[in-house]
C-alpha cells in the first residue's frame, strides 16, 4: 500500500508575502523639544522582524548654553536604544548600531525621536532601521 | 505621499511632538504653527483624503489651508486606519492642517 502525506511545511517568514520596511531620519537641527521623526505600526495580519537599527549624533556647532541632546528609538513605548550627550564641544559624537531579531506584533509601534535642550548651536541626528514585514 | 499634518504632543519624553498617524516619516515640524510635513504610505490614506490633499497643495509650514479639513474626511480617515490596523477608532485621528 502506498502512503502519501500531503502535509506541507509552513513557509518561512521571508516567504510569507514579505516586504522590506525601512526608514531614516537625518537632520541638522537646533534646540527643540522632543519630536518624533518617524514611526511604524504593524498592520493587522502582519508581523515585523527588525534586523538592524542605527543611531548617531554629532555636535555640529557649539551652543551658547549647554544642554543635553539625544537621538532615540522607542519600541512599544520603551527605549530600545538611545545615544546622546551634554558635552558642548564641536564634533562630540556617538553612534550605536544593533543587529538582531526583534519581533513586533500587530498593533505594536516603533518610533524615533530627537531632542536638544541647549540654547543655540546645532546637532546632527540620525536614526534608521531595516526590517522585514510578513504575514502572520 | 507628503501631507502637511497637524502636530500633537507636548514635546516631552512620554508625549513627544508628533503627527497622529500609525506609520510616517519626514519629521519636519513647526511647533509654533502646529504643523508638520509627513511622508505617509499611500495605503494608509483614503482616496477622498488624497483628493483633498491634491486639491489644496501646501508649500510651507505657516500658510493656513484655504478651507479647513472637513470633519467627514477626518472621520473617514480614522475609520480607514482602524480597519487597517484593527485597533479601533480611538487610536488615531489625523488632520490635514
ipTM for this prediction: 0.90
* Minimum Cα–Cα distance from B28: chain A residue: A37
Please, which residues 27-66 of chain B have a Cβ atom closer than 8 Å to chain A?
27, 29, 31
Domain boundaries, chain B: 2-85
* pLDDT of A1: 65
When pLDDT is cut at 50, 70 and 90, the band that residue B20 belongs to is: very high
Strand-pair partners of B18: B8
pTM of the model: 0.91
Assess if residue A3 is contained within a domain. Answer: no
Average pLDDT, chain B: 94
On whether residue A41 sits in a domain, the answer given is yes
SS3 readout for chain A: CCCCCCCCCCCCHHHCCCEEEEEEEEEEECCEEEEEEEEEECCCCEEEEEEEEEEEEEEEECCCECCCEEEEEEECCEEEEEEEECCCCCCCEEEEEEEEEEEECCCCEEEEEEEECCECCEEEEEEEEEEEEEEC
* Euclidean distance between CA atoms A49 and A126, whole angstroms: 21
Residue B17 is nearest to which of A33, A42, A44, comparing CB atoms? A33
CB contact under 8 A, A37 and B22: no
Answer for the pair B4, B94: CB distance below 8 angstroms, yes or no: no
The pLDDT value recorded for residue A3 is 67
Interface touch A33/B12, C-beta < 8 Å:
yes
Better pLDDT: B35 or A77: B35
For residue A87, the enclosing domain spans 13-135
Nearest chain A residue to B80 by CA distance is: A43
Q: Residues of chain A whose pLDDT is less than 50? A: none
pLDDT, position A2: 67
State residue B51's pLDDT score: 97
Question: What number of residues does chain A have?
Answer: 136
List the one residue out of A56, A115, A120, A45 whose CA is nearest residue A91: A56
CATH of the domain at A90: 2.60.120
Chain B residues lying within 8 Å of A33, measured CB to CB = 10-12, 16-17, 31
Residue B55 pLDDT? 97
Encode pLDDT of B44-92 as tens digits.
999 999 999 999 999 999 999 999 999 999 999 999 999 999 988 888 9
A39, A42, A45 ranked by CB distance to B24: nearest: A39
Q: Give the whole-angstrom CA distance, residue A45 versus residue A48.
A: 11
Tell whether A34 lies on the interface with B, counting CB pairs under 8 A.
Answer: yes
The tally of domains found in chain A comes to: 1
Amino acid at each position: 500500500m502506498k502512503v502519501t502525506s500531503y502535509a506541507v511545511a509552513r513557509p518561512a517568514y521571508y516567504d510569507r508575502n514579505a516586504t522590506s520596511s525601512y526608514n531614516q531620519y537625518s537632520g541638522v537641527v537646533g534646540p527643540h523639544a522632543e519630536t518624533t521623526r518617524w514611526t511604524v505600526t504593524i498592520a493587522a495580519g502582519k508581523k515585523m522582524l527588525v534586523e538592524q537599527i542605527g543611531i548617531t549624533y554629532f555636535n555640529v556647532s557649539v551652543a551658547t548654553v549647554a544642554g543635553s541632546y539625544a537621538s532615540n528609538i522607542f519600541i512599544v513605548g520603551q527605549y530600545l536604544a538611545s545615544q546622546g550627550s551634554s558635552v558642548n564641544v564641536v564634533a562630540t559624537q556617538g553612534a550605536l548600531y544593533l543587529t538582531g531579531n526583534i519581533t513586533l506584533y500587530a498593533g505594536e509601534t516603533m518610533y524615533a525621536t530627537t531632542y536638544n535642550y541647549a540654547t543655540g548651536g546645532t546637532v546632527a541626528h540620525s536614526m534608521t532601521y531595516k526590517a522585514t514585514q510578513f504575514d502572520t | 505621499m507628503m501631507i502637511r499634518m497637524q502636530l500633537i504632543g507636548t514635546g516631552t519624553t512620554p508625549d513627544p511632538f508628533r503627527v497622529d498617524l500609525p506609520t510616517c516619516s519626514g519629521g519636519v515640524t513647526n511647533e509654533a504653527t502646529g504643523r508638520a510635513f509627513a511622508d505617509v504610505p499611500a495605503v494608509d490614506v483614503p482616496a477622498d483624503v488624497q483628493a483633498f490633499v491634491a486639491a489644496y497643495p501646501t508649500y510651507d509650514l505657516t500658510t493656513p489651508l484655504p478651507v479647513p479639513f472637513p470633519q467627514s474626511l477626518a472621520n473617514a480617515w480614522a475609520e480607514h486606519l482602524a480597519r487597517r490596523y484593527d485597533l479601533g477608532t480611538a487610536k488615531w485621528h489625523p488632520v490635514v492642517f
